Amino acid sequence: MKVFVSVDMEGISGLTDPEEMRAGGRGYERGCELMTGDANAAIRAAFDTGADRVVVTDSHGTGKNLRADLIDERCTLIRGPSKPMRMGEGLDASFDVALYVGYHARAGAERGVLNHTWMGREIQNLYLNGEVAGEIRLMAGYAGSLGVPVGFLAGDEAACEEARGVLGDIATVAVKKGCGRYAAELIPPARAQEQIYEAATRTLRAPERWRHLTLRAPYTLAVEWNATEIAQSCSLIPGVTLTSPRTTEFTTGDYSEIVGLLGICATIAGEIGCAGRHYG
| Catalytic residue IDs | 116
Secondary structure in 3-state letters for 249-268: EEEECCHHHHHHHHHHHHHH
Q: What is the DSSP string of 4-23?
A: EEEE-STTSTT---GGGGST
Of 153, 148, 55, the C-alpha closest to 97 is 148
- Is 10 flagged in the annotation as binding? yes
- Is 212 flagged in the annotation as binding? no
Whole-number Å distance between alpha carbons of 13 and 221 = 31
208 Cβ neighbours under 8 A, 6+ residues apart: none
Task: For residue 179, give the DSSP letter.
Answer: E
Of 26, 23, 118, 102, the C-alpha closest to 65 is 23
Counted residue by residue, the chain has a size of: 280
Whole-number Å distance between alpha carbons of 66 and 39 = 8
- Is 8 flagged in the annotation as binding? yes
Q: Which residues pair with 183 in a beta bridge?
A: 180
Cβ atoms of 102 and 8 within 8 Å: the answer is yes
- Is 60 flagged in the annotation as binding? yes
Annotated binding-site positions for Zn(2+): 8, 10, 60, 104, 135
Annotated binding-site positions: 8, 10, 60, 104, 135
